[in-house]
Amino acid sequence: MSENRGLIAVVVVLLVALAGMVCLGVGALIYCPQPGSACAGLFGAPSNVSQNNPSQTQPTTAPDQSQNQTQNPTQNSSTNNTAPAGNVLRLPGGSGGGGDPPTLDPANTSDVESATYIVEIFSGLVGFNKDLKIVPDLAEKWDVSNDGKTYTFTLRQDAKFHDGRPVTAQDVKYSLERAADPRTRSTVSPLYLGDIVGFMDKYTGKANEVSGVKVLDNYTVQIDIDKPISYFLAALAHPTSYIVDKFNVESGEQPWYLKPNGTGPFKLIQWDQGQQIVLEKNADYYGDIKPSVDRIEFLLGGGSAMTRYENGDLDATRVSIADIERVSDPASPLNKELSIDPQLSTSFIVFNTRKAPFDDPKVRMAFAMSIDRQKLNDVVFKKMPVVATGILPQAFPGFNQDLKGIPFDPEGAKKLLAESKYASGLPDIVWSTVGGGGTAGSDVQAIAEMLKENLGANISVEQTDWATYLSQINGTNVDFQLFDIGWSADYVDPHNFIGLLFRGGSLNNWSGYDNPVVNQLIDDASVEPNLDKRIQEYQQAEEKILQDAPVLPLTYGRDFWLTKPYVKGAFYPPLVIERLKYITLDK
Amino acid sequence: MSARFIRLFFARGQALRAPSFMLAYIVRRLLWLPVLLILISLITFALGIYGPGDPVQVMMGLHARPDIIAQVRKEYGLDQPFPVQYWNYMTNALHGNFGYSLVKYQGQRVSDLIAKRLPVTLQLNLVSVCWSLPLAIALGIFAALKRKSWLDVFLRGMVILAVSIPVIGLQPVLTFLFSRKHEIGPMTLGPFLPVGGWGGIFSPQVILPAFILGLGVLAVFTRQTRAAMIEVLNADYVRTARAKGLKEWMVLGRHALRNALIPLVTLIGFVLAGMFAGSFIIESFYGIPGVGQLAYDALISKEYYIIMAFTLMIAVVYVLMNLLIDILYVFVDPRIRYK
């Protein structure tokens, strides 16, 4: 009898559960016969509902409305998302990490994830080509005045927004002024465009327009800048300066960028938050290289990208440190699909020269010499980056191949420490790092252990969250004693590393390093018109900085990507630039 | 924890037995809700504003320039004194506007962000509870009836195993087994289940995450059901029921199970309330667009408004769930009858 009891109970409960599930299933099928119907949101995010039809959100009073309709009658009906099979590219979200981009508003682009989409959907007056050289984009040519302070751009006449409206000089003026508008709340526009005459006046609410941007005629625009900076065109190639459509921005959509009307080689046709972003080829793209792939799906969820790649559900994936050994093995079939690309980034350990014991250069050098970076790179980082020899990363103009880097020399380090003013004993040292786990990252632990072993330094590690960390290293008065940080290039100019990070008084000079000789070299270089001479001056400064060791450059970053063999023309540039139009599929 | 909770709620249940107190009790509890919410919102808001870190700074990253930060903070009204900011937030919130995201979902309404993601998290959790809870109760009853047999020992062992395996370890193993191709000699097996993303509760993608999420519930409820069943099966009324010749399934279903379920009600309530708090780890592993990622983003980038909305929502749900459990308890307990 007792046997039956248990059995009966189990069967009854299971039957009830089963009945419940069946009811749910039947109910759902009745309610939701097709995955694309309106109820899809209930049982999963909508997957086939087109979200983008910019022309609908535009006021009918748009000045070029007639043109829009006559020239481009078919373009707006992009509601049919069923892609032609075979010409669809499936990529991990953004820069490979997944997740929703924080914004698709060009003026507010401050991160890589957002920029990845924005450079494909929108375009600027100028852009970068594959070799990171400045090339014409919406502007077909430009003239620079002799004093280097006035740029006159001539726009292409065949460039149109995705809804068919032609791009004019008024759009350029509108976009740049919008980036300056305090209501746009851009945190990046002053960094890139702050040199335009009158830009900061508008940004701080002192003026209603940016006086330095003048519309000469429908297709000519003139931009005046304060001083002849050499990197102004590069700044115009940054998404912050990209051209937006006024009617799109003021459409009332909350926020407008969910349905962007850009000019780039691809259009956004779908964005299911946390799920996917779908771009479709802009058949009317004006550029010389036309996009080939019909549809690109970015998977935003993140999870298990590597497995999805191996199962053939993704056409490319970034390789994480967990898979690096497997993929790097020449015997692995995956190895043939691997590409390794240098990034424009360097990671540093920063010695705060304002704090004991790092006010003594000998102590800093002793610390730097006690860290075995090769071992660290081999064991902890699994050879993903490469050991840094200087400050400027490889593949950067001005990278100095002759630099040997600070050697690993524990004996020499002990000697240096004995000569320093802390020979009698080092104070306790706190290492601040970003983290929230129970223990700090293995790299930090390994380095702290090396310092203890080789120098007898007593180091405790303090973890803070990213937001707090940022508030601590913001500005010139950094409170941390010893910390680690990485820096990626914003523009391809040595000033971005040497000038910003090591010029005395610079806001990103975390170590508080202030050497008059170095300052002079940097100041000379930043206004030097001759490129070779500039680079020479920056290299001299770099050498001096390394001797004083306010920082220890640890590694230069590298990117590891796997790409399916049928994806042709894919490349992974160190800066976010337009790259999807080069891709063709050969399935 | 659970045992203490149950005892606590038993005690509260006793106090509720007199029905006339019931309505007054509910009203009194509900009256406390706004007070509680104001307190919670004050504390959360103060932590957001006075705590270290700043959303505008996070937006700027390493390029912090104090003049730009000050300008943008002014535009967002973040430079206003605390009472003004709090007042503005609360008046807007009462009008249904819970603010806008500042950093990670720039300019999007917080209410939209949550409304898009919450259903996914709830569905995922519901699927997990749907398979694990009935199974747990069945297994618990089974174990109680087979007490001290090898099956009971085996079940209890499995349960302990299920609670002990960390998700971080389980997820890659399951993904490897079920979501990859296996080449065994000439044979190619799998992948059996697609991995990642969200296709609704009837898609195969839901199986692995729901399985992992449900394991915890399965373990806890199997143990609780077993313990409660054993207690009840030893009770006098069960012996009486058997003695008067009732069929065994009636003894079990009507007398034993109903009483054994009482302590479980409390637990179920908390499991359901916990759903709102999200299932972040699982969601991030499987790329499920639920509230987990949103909550995480909000925390690391000091998104006051999202954090506030979450905190208030979870507070409301917990308070209501608590109340509901107390009321439900009175209904489930057969010794209580309204006149």
Return the number of other C-beta atoms located less than 10 Å from residue B38's C-beta.
11
The secondary structure element, H or E, covering residue A215 is strand A213-217
- Mean pLDDT computed over B272-298: 80
ipTM of this complex prediction, to 2 decimal places = 0.77
CB of B216 within 8 A of CB of B163?
yes
Q: Which of B308, B286, B299 is nearest to A303 (CA)?
A: B286
Q: How does pLDDT run across B140-191, given as a tens digit for each residue?
A: 988 988 888 888 888 888 888 887 887 778 888 888 888 877 777 777 777 7
Please indicate if any CB of chain A lies within 8 Å of the CB of B71. yes
Return the pLDDT at A551.
95
Q: Of B52, B74, B146, which is closest to A471 when you measure between CB atoms?
A: B52
8-47 in chain B: CB under 8 A from chain A: none
Q: How does pLDDT run across B69-81, given as a tens digit for each residue?
A: 888 888 888 889 9
CA-based nearest distance A422→chain B, Å: 32
Q: Where does residue A65 rank: exposed (0-12), middle (13-18), buried (19+ CB within 10 A)? A: middle
Min mean pLDDT across A451-460, B38-47, B75-84, B324-333 is at B324-333
Chains A, B: CB pairs < 8 Å: 231
- Mean pLDDT computed over A97-103: 81
More confident residue, A69 or B287: B287
More confident residue, A61 or A543: A543
Q: What is the DSSP letter of B199?
A: -
CB pair distance less than 8 Å for A203 and B71:
yes
**Rounded Cα distance, B106 and B102, in Å:** 5
Which pLDDT band holds residue A248 (cuts at 50, 70, 90)? Answer: very high
CB of A78 within 8 A of CB of A269?
yes
CB pair distance less than 8 Å for A102 and B103:
yes
Q: What is the DSSP letter of A166?
A: B
Chain A partners of B113 at a C-beta cutoff of 8 Å?
A: 273
Q: Is the pLDDT of residue A8 over 60?
A: no
Which pLDDT band holds residue A20 (cuts at 50, 70, 90)? Answer: low
Which pLDDT band holds residue A16 (cuts at 50, 70, 90)? Answer: low
| pLDDT cut 90: percent of chain A above it | 56
Return the pLDDT at A22.
55
pTM of the model: 0.80
Q: How does pLDDT run across B241-279, given as a tens digit for each residue?
A: 888 888 888 888 878 887 887 778 778 877 777 777 667
C-alpha separations of A285 from A77, A288, B205 in Å = 16, 9, 37
CB of B162 within 8 A of CB of B219?
yes
Assess whether the previous peptide bond of A397 is cis (omega < 30° from 0): no
Structure tokens at A242: 């990209």
Return the pLDDT at A40.
35
- Mean pLDDT computed over B226-250: 87
Return the pLDDT at B235.
87
Please indicate if any CB of chain B lies within 8 Å of the CB of A268. no
Q: Which of B106, B209, B53, B288 is nearest to A99 (CA)?
A: B288
**Rounded Cα distance, B179 and A495, in Å:** 48
CA-based nearest distance B151→chain A, Å: 11
Q: Is the pLDDT of residue A34 over 80?
A: no
Q: Residue B248's closest chain A neighbor by CA?
A: A5
**Rounded Cα distance, A297 and A278, in Å:** 5
Which pLDDT band holds residue A303 (cuts at 50, 70, 90)? Answer: low
C-alpha separations of A43 from A87, A299, A403, B119 in Å = 28, 19, 59, 8
Min mean pLDDT across A353-362, A510-519, B173-182 is at B173-182
Q: How far is CA A87 from the centre of its chain?
A: 27
Phi, psi of B152 (to 5 degrees): -60, -45
Q: How does pLDDT run across A266-301, given as a tens digit for each residue?
A: 999 999 888 889 999 999 999 999 999 999 999 887
Which pLDDT band holds residue B56 (cuts at 50, 70, 90)? Answer: confident
CB pair distance less than 8 Å for A307 and B181:
no
198-227 in chain B: CB under 8 A from chain A: 198-203
Q: Where does residue A391 rank: exposed (0-12), middle (13-18), buried (19+ CB within 10 A)? A: buried
Instruction: Give the 3-state secondary structure of residue A267.
Output: strand
Angle of helix B207-233 versus helix B167-179 axis, rounded to 10: 120
Task: Name residue A432's beta-bridge partners.
Answer: A462, A483
Range with top average pLDDT, A237-251, A320-334, B117-131: A237-251
Assess whether the previous peptide bond of B34 is cis (omega < 30° from 0): no
CB pair distance less than 8 Å for A9 and B201:
no
177-196 in chain A: CB under 8 A from chain B: 182-183, 185-188, 190-191
Return the pLDDT at B278.
63
Which pLDDT band holds residue A43 (cuts at 50, 70, 90)? Answer: very low
- The residue written with tokens 């290039």 in the block is A489
Q: Is the pLDDT of residue A134 over 80?
A: yes
Q: How does pLDDT run across A423-450, given as a tens digit for each residue?
A: 888 899 999 998 876 777 889 999 999 9
Mean pLDDT of chain A: 83
Q: Is the pLDDT of residue A62 over 50?
A: no
Q: How does pLDDT run across A525-539, given as a tens digit for each residue?
A: 887 878 889 899 999
- Sign for the CA dihedral angle at A297, A490, A539, A443 comes to negative
Chain B partners of A490 at a C-beta cutoff of 8 Å?
A: 63
Return the pLDDT at A404.
87
Q: Which of A207, A126, A114, A219 is nearest to A166 (CA)?
A: A219
Q: How does pLDDT run across A456-487, given as a tens digit for each residue?
A: 999 999 998 888 888 888 767 788 999 999 89
The secondary structure element, H or E, covering residue A483 is strand A482-488
**Rounded Cα distance, A224 and B209, in Å:** 57
- Mean pLDDT computed over B65-69: 84
Return the pLDDT at B202.
84
More confident residue, B135 or A55: B135
More confident residue, A492 or A181: A181
CB pair distance less than 8 Å for B60 and A187:
yes
**Rounded Cα distance, B329 and B331, in Å:** 5
Return the pLDDT at A95.
73
Return the pLDDT at A66.
35
Kind of pairing between the strands at A429-434 and B187-189:
unpaired
One-letter amino acid of B295: A
Written as one string, the DSSP assignment of A11-64 is: HHHHHHHHHHHHHHHHHHHHH-SSTTSTTHHHHS--SS-----GGGGS-TT-TT
Q: Is the pLDDT of residue A245 over 90?
A: yes
**Rounded Cα distance, A96 and A93, in Å:** 5
C-alpha separations of A409 from A286, A365, A372, A386, A405 in Å = 58, 10, 8, 19, 12
Q: At a CB cut-off of 8 Å and minimum separation 6, what does B83 contact? A: none
Chain B partners of A186 at a C-beta cutoff of 8 Å?
A: 72
Which pLDDT band holds residue A262 (cuts at 50, 70, 90)? Answer: very high
Alpha helices, H only, chain B: 2-15, 20-50, 55-60, 66-76, 82-94, 110-145, 150-164, 167-179, 207-233, 236-243, 248-250, 258-276, 280-286, 291-300, 304-332
Please indicate if any CB of chain B lies within 8 Å of the CB of A415. no
Please indicate if any CB of chain B lies within 8 Å of the CB of A475. yes
Return the pLDDT at A42.
37
**Rounded Cα distance, A201 and A213, in Å:** 13
CA torsion, points A299, A304, A309, A314, in degrees to nearest 10?
A: -10
More confident residue, A217 or B289: A217
Q: At a CB cut-off of 8 Å and minimum separation 6, what does A28 contact? A: A43, B201, B202
Q: At a CB cut-off of 8 Å and minimum separation 6, what does A574 contact? A: A132, A341, A342, A343, A344, A345, A395, A489, A559
More confident residue, B109 or A67: B109
106-125 in chain B: CB under 8 A from chain A: 106-109, 113, 116-117, 119-120, 123
Q: Which of B69, B102, B106, B120 to mutate to test the interface with A (most CBs of A within 10 A)?
A: B106
Kind of pairing between the strands at A338-351 and A139-144:
unpaired
Return the pLDDT at B274.
75
Q: Is the pLDDT of residue A79 over 70?
A: no
Which pLDDT band holds residue A395 (cuts at 50, 70, 90)? Answer: confident
Please indicate if any CB of chain B lies within 8 Å of the CB of A300. yes
Q: What is the DSSP letter of A225?
A: B
Q: At a CB cut-off of 8 Å and minimum separation 6, what does A26 contact? A: none
